[in-house]
Amino acid sequence: MFTYYLDLALRSLKRNKVLTALMVLAIAVGIGASMTTLTIVHLLSGDPLPGRSSVLFFPQLDPESPVSQGHTQPYPMMDYRSAVDLWSAHRADRQAIITSSSAKVRLPDSGQPPLMLGLLSTSADFFPMFDVPFQYGSGWSADDDAHRARVAVISAGLNQKLFGGADSVGRILRVRDTDVRIVGVLKPWRPTPLFYDPWSQNFSKTEDVFAPFTSSLEINQGNFQPYTCWHVPKDPRDMVHADCVWVWLWVELGSPAKVRDYARFLDHYADTQKAAGRFAVGSERVRLRDLMTWLTARGQVPDDVRLQAWLALAFLVICLFNAVGLLLAKFLRRSGEIGVRRALGASRGAIFAQCLVEAGVIGLLGGFFGWVLTLLGLWLVRHQPVDYAHLARLDTTMFLATFALAVCTSLLAGFIPALRASRVVPGWQLKAL
Amino acid sequence: MHLRHILRALGRHRIAAGLLVLEIAFSCAVVCNALFLIGTRLERMQRPSGVDETHLVEVGVRSVTPGTPEAVMAQTRTDLARLRALPGVSDAVVASPIPFGDSVSFSGVSLSDDAKAPSMPVAQYFGGVQLARTLGLKLASGRWFTPDEFVSYDALQGGASGVPVIISRALAQHLFPGQDAAGRTIYAFGANRVVGVVDRLVQPRDYGAAGDYRYAMMFPVDLPYSRGTYLMRVDDPARRQAVIGQALQALKADGPLRLISPRYATTLEAARAKYYVNDRAMAWLLVGVSLLLLLVTALGIVGLSSFWVGQRRRQIGIRRAIGASRRDIRTYFQAENFLIATGGIVLGMALAYGINLVLMRHYELGRLPGYYLPLGAIVLWTLGQLAVLGPALRAAAVPPVVATRST
């Protein structure tokens, strides 16, 4: 029966090519526009560390004192003292202290001009905590952190640029004026969004050089930029003693009990500091958010993208109304034929099913062209000057979603017209023939 | 005319007519809001910076080998002399930050030296003696900095007292409503006397609420090149690219090893275009979506009207046979479309307003100005009439003889 309906549907679609084309076009355009934007939203709200994001937490507190006007949320970073206090307390399963800056880097005695690169200063736990993949070597040890070892890990991109992709572990790199030994080379690693750095653009690349925080303080002294300060630093090169936020922390907490304990520890720390007069606000400004919650709070999906998604959905709704109107016209134009089939014994249900099959076929066609339009739309997005441009590709989920959306849309659109067609009174139509 | 008949005829096609009304209403609502969003983007992109952008070029130089502060400062003076000597360059200065640049810096400003006094963050510019002339700023009251008022960056950060400040008029009005700010004192780097107020000076980049964009202040600071960017004023805008090339060469000609690259050199106009590139892309996207929406709506009208014409061939034939002119038939369909469009527009206005309320809650957006509603109405009425014209002409072409045939 289904194949017969399919045959009827195809015949009917062929009969009025202009109307069919209009309907397919309307659905395709609606699908193309909404799938392009929905794909972007889907990609942007993705989890950068699936499976691990639920145990990673971003602690925040507010060291500003006195609190300036309009400042109601803690900064995404801390002052040096608070960060180091929390880090060295070792209350979490793992903890990484982080700050980013830029630094001049070159190969000693190579004669090549120096490069200005991003330098991420962090601690040993960074690499296992974030599942950072290594091509050669490994990260440094907690011992290296303690002894301010002159070591570094470099990105795959920098390894390609400086060493042509060869195993460069053991080679020497000059960061500003200090020679450091390369202990590890990363595989290409680009977490999207770049979750660990509250300073970065959401979709920028990782830094090229990673070095122990304790060593960086000496190597890159005077080159750290504050996120913000609430007092003018006496010496702008000395961030360690300045009233500025520029360091942050990520912690790994394996169980809900540990999360509760850590939250209590943070509250206690903030309250103690407030009591000591160093903070103006205590535990009321403490935050401990897991990775995905933090990303949402940070505004991971840009406003413009969300606006575009709503626009595209409105577009789809209009295409839906359009399809309903056109299907109605199409089915009712065949009232005579439907009358004959009803008179020959077809039930209302059969007519209804036949009409829905026809709507479904239109939906599939619309889905196909909608898919083509989605690819075109994503291609356009890739050529936009936005930082997430490189992400704009269709994955399997969204590919299937395209067709599901198209067929659902057209079946929904076909429902009322099919119902209306199945109510055609055979007698009237036969008389008119 | 025969509106009553048209309404009665539409009553027999409630579903189809209702669908058209809904489609038009939705289009009207979305298009009104899209036009409004496009308007706000264009307005944002056209905000003046107060700076004479057409005559400015910037060249950034990064230091590589750190010298003593004195040596860097001496090099900066040499560079500036060379840049000012370039043909067509009238002024050059080291400034930080620069309009539409990557960075923005703020200081807390309060009206009393009490550390507990409420402060507000205000965007700040630092620059050397020719800063105001290079930027082409206009003084609203007070005076410019005098050459002896310029201090070194370290002196300012280190708490040099009594450094004067020039503030934007918007900031002056915010801090000292209804009074002349020149001569008053604000507290940012210690106590800073306001010596002048400029007509307009804005944040280098948007930061904070939209209203804060026009709050900015300038301090007289002799910056070394390593802490800022060379800004040059070019007399003839057509020579800006040539000046950039000459400036890069002049800077490379002497001095220590430094990063001097065309990548860090651009005209301020290009920097502005780059800064607003997202807004422009969004505006074009909205234009594209609006046009597609109108197209889809027009297709819907064409489709349904054609269907109605086909369905009513016999009635049209009868009307023609009993004396209706072609014009009568055509205007019938046009009037019918006008009625449907009007219904859609009335509903669409309410919907447009509703969508605007939702947008206002989630985005930093104002209320939909009233004139967008008649604008949307005119667009959709016109669209409806254009879309129905084809089917209506086809209906008018139906010969009266159809009345005598059975189908």
Asked whether residue B299 is assigned to any structural domain, the reply reads yes
B12 and B105, same domain (yes or no): no
From the CA of B67, how many Å to the nearest CA of chain A? 13
Encoding tokens for residue A84?
Answer: 């180091």
By C-alpha distance, the chain B residue nearest A319 is B296
Q: For strand B120-127 and strand B216-222, is the pairing parallel, antiparallel, or unpaired?
A: parallel
Give contacts of A315 with chain B, Cβ < 8 Å: 30, 289, 292-293, 296
Beta bridge partners of B167: B197, B217
Sign of CA dihedral B263, B265, B271, B273: negative
Number of neighbours of residue B93 by Cβ within 10 angstroms = 24
B232 and B117, same domain (yes or no): yes
Give percent of chain B with pLDDT exceeding 90.
Answer: 35
Ramachandran angles phi, psi of B193, nearest 5°: -80, 130
Residues 6+ apart with CB under 8 A from B242: B88
B72 and B26, same domain (yes or no): no
Give contacts of B120 with chain A, Cβ < 8 Å: 68-70
B350 and B286, same domain (yes or no): yes
- Is B290 at the interface with chain A, CB within 8 A? no
Asked whether residue B261 is assigned to any structural domain, the reply reads no
| Structural domain span for residue B372 | 3-46+277-404
Sign of CA dihedral A414, A420, A422, A428: negative
Res. A330: pLDDT tops 90: no
* B61 touches B142 (CB < 8 A): no
Mutate to test the interface with A, among B161, B279, B293 (most CBs of A within 10 A): B293
Among residues B196, B224, B256, which one ends one of the domains? B256
- Is A69 at the interface with chain B, CB within 8 A? yes
- Is B115 at the interface with chain A, CB within 8 A? yes
Q: Which of A299, A234, A256 is nearest to A73 (CA)?
A: A299
Query: Helix B14-45 vs helix B372-396: angle between axes, to the nearest 10 degrees?
Result: 140
B249 and B283, same domain (yes or no): no
Q: According to the model, what pLDDT value does residue A225 have?
A: 82
Task: Give the number of A-B residue pairs with CB atoms closer than 8 Å.
Answer: 127
Q: According to the model, what pLDDT value does residue A11 have?
A: 84
Asked whether residue B263 is assigned to any structural domain, the reply reads no
The beta-carbon neighbor of B22 closest among A311, A321, A384 is A321
Give contacts of A30 with chain B, Cβ < 8 Å: 296
Return d(Cα B406, Cα A38) in angstroms, integer.
52
The beta-carbon neighbor of B300 closest among A232, A234, A321 is A321
Model pLDDT for residues A353-397, shown as the tens digit of each residue: 888 888 888 888 988 999 999 999 889 888 877 777 777 778 888
Asked whether residue B397 is assigned to any structural domain, the reply reads yes
Model pLDDT for residues A17-39, shown as the tens digit of each residue: 877 887 888 888 888 888 888 88
Asked whether residue B59 is assigned to any structural domain, the reply reads no
Q: Which of A329, A21, A363, A429 is nearest to B17 (CA)?
A: A329
- Is B390 at the interface with chain A, CB within 8 A? no
Asked whether residue B265 is assigned to any structural domain, the reply reads no
Of chain B residues 186-225, which have a CB less than 8 A from chain A? 189
By C-alpha distance, the chain B residue nearest A236 is B157
B70 and B207, same domain (yes or no): yes
Residue B185's Cα: distance from chain center in Å?
34
Asked whether residue B56 is assigned to any structural domain, the reply reads no
Number of neighbours of residue B18 by Cβ within 10 angstroms = 16
Burial class of B68 by CB neighbour count within 10 A (0 to 12, 13 to 18, 19+): exposed
Q: According to the model, what pLDDT value does residue B64 have?
A: 65
Return d(Cα A173, Cα B227) in angstroms, integer.
26
* B353 touches B268 (CB < 8 A): no
* B211 touches B219 (CB < 8 A): no
Residues 6+ apart with CB under 8 A from B146: none
Burial class of A275 by CB neighbour count within 10 A (0 to 12, 13 to 18, 19+): exposed
Q: According to the model, what pLDDT value does residue A314 have?
A: 84
Omega within 30 of 0 (cis) for the link into B164: no
Return d(Cα A191, Cα A295) in angstroms, integer.
13
B21 and B129, same domain (yes or no): no
Give contacts of A326 with chain B, Cβ < 8 Å: 300, 303-304
Mutate to test the interface with A, among B12, B14, B19 (most CBs of A within 10 A): B19
B184 and B230, same domain (yes or no): yes
B141 and B288, same domain (yes or no): no
Return d(Cα A251, Cα A234) in angstroms, integer.
31
Model pLDDT for residues A199-223, shown as the tens digit of each residue: 776 677 889 999 999 999 999 888 8
Average pLDDT, chain A: 86
Q: Do A322 and B300 touch (CB under 8 A)?
A: yes
Q: Do A325 and B20 touch (CB under 8 A)?
A: yes
* A286 touches A15 (CB < 8 A): no
Among residues B189, B221, B256, which one ends one of the domains? B256
Among residues B225, B256, B287, which one ends one of the domains? B256
Return d(Cα A66, Cα A64) in angstroms, integer.
6
Res. A344: pLDDT tops 60: yes
Q: According to the model, what pLDDT value does residue B115 have?
A: 67
The beta-carbon neighbor of B289 closest among A104, A234, A311 is A311
Give contacts of B310 with chain A, Cβ < 8 Å: 333
Domains held by chain B: number:
2
B302 and B250, same domain (yes or no): no
B317 and B217, same domain (yes or no): no
The beta-carbon neighbor of B23 closest among A113, A325, A433 is A325
B220 and B158, same domain (yes or no): yes
Asked whether residue B267 is assigned to any structural domain, the reply reads no
Q: Do B120 and A68 touch (CB under 8 A)?
A: yes
Query: Helix B277-311 vs helix B372-396: angle between axes, to the nearest 10 degrees?
Result: 30
Residues of chain B with pLDDT under 50: none
Model pLDDT for residues B8-40, shown as the tens digit of each residue: 888 777 888 888 899 899 999 989 988 998 998
A77 — pLDDT class (breaks 50, 70, 90): very high
